[in-house]
Amino acid sequence: MTPYAAPQYPVPADAILVECRHDRHAEAILAIFNDAILTSTALYDYRPRTLASMQGWFQAKEAGGFPVVGLENEAGELMGFASYGVFRAYPANKYTFEHSVYIDARFRGRGLGEALMRILIDRAHLRQVHVLVGSIDATNTGSIRLHEKLGFVHAGTIRQAGFKFGRWLDLAFYQLTLDTPADPVDG
């Protein structure tokens, strides 16, 4: 288990931590999602999402009490965001959540992903989460390196789990086990 340490947010000086809201951030998050869908294997979707889909996405996050944190620049542009949600919808999985972190292509390489992940890990710890799971395309070495730097360990790979851009995709799972909850219960 990873022992809990006081949060350290190495947020770049020109970045501002925000709680993302539908009314302010839906379009920016949608643009980041759709760029990932169209240009990468970070998301295994084929078609861009619609603005209407963001309403349900935000509602699910709010209903589950799941954070959606972002970093904006001084001009108010969302540079990236991170969140977590249900890993598997079974009662026994109530202490395990799947997370995601996405950075706008214009702002990559500045440490924003690491800053957002550290914030998300702290939020998970405070919520008494036991395991955070990252589902990462096996060719996404940057994301894999980031997760390993933060203490995530490889938990397995599903070979040929997806097919996109004319090729089979392997899906690697990385997990971070926290020292919470203090008193886990069944039911």
pTM of the model: 0.93
Could you tell me if 33 and 43 are in contact, meaning their C-beta atoms sit under 8 angstroms apart? yes
59-110 pLDDT, tens digit each: 999 999 999 999 999 999 999 999 999 999 999 999 999 999 999 999 999 9
**Segment holding 53, helix H or strand E:** helix 51-64
| pLDDT in the model for residue 74 | 94
pLDDT tier for residue 6 given thresholds of 50, 70 and 90: very low
Q: How many whole angstroms separate alpha carbon 84 and alpha carbon 92?
A: 17
- SS3 category, 34: helix
| pLDDT in the model for residue 1 | 52
| pLDDT in the model for residue 7 | 55
What is the end-to-end Cα distance of the chain in Å, rounded?
Answer: 23
112-165 pLDDT, tens digit each: 999 999 999 999 999 999 999 999 999 999 999 999 999 999 999 999 999 999
CA 44 to chain centre: 15
| pLDDT in the model for residue 4 | 46
Q: Sheet containing 131-137: which strands, arranged edge to edge? A: 16-19, 68-72, 78-86, 96-103, 131-137, 167-177, 153-164
Beta strands 167-177 and 131-137, pairing class: antiparallel
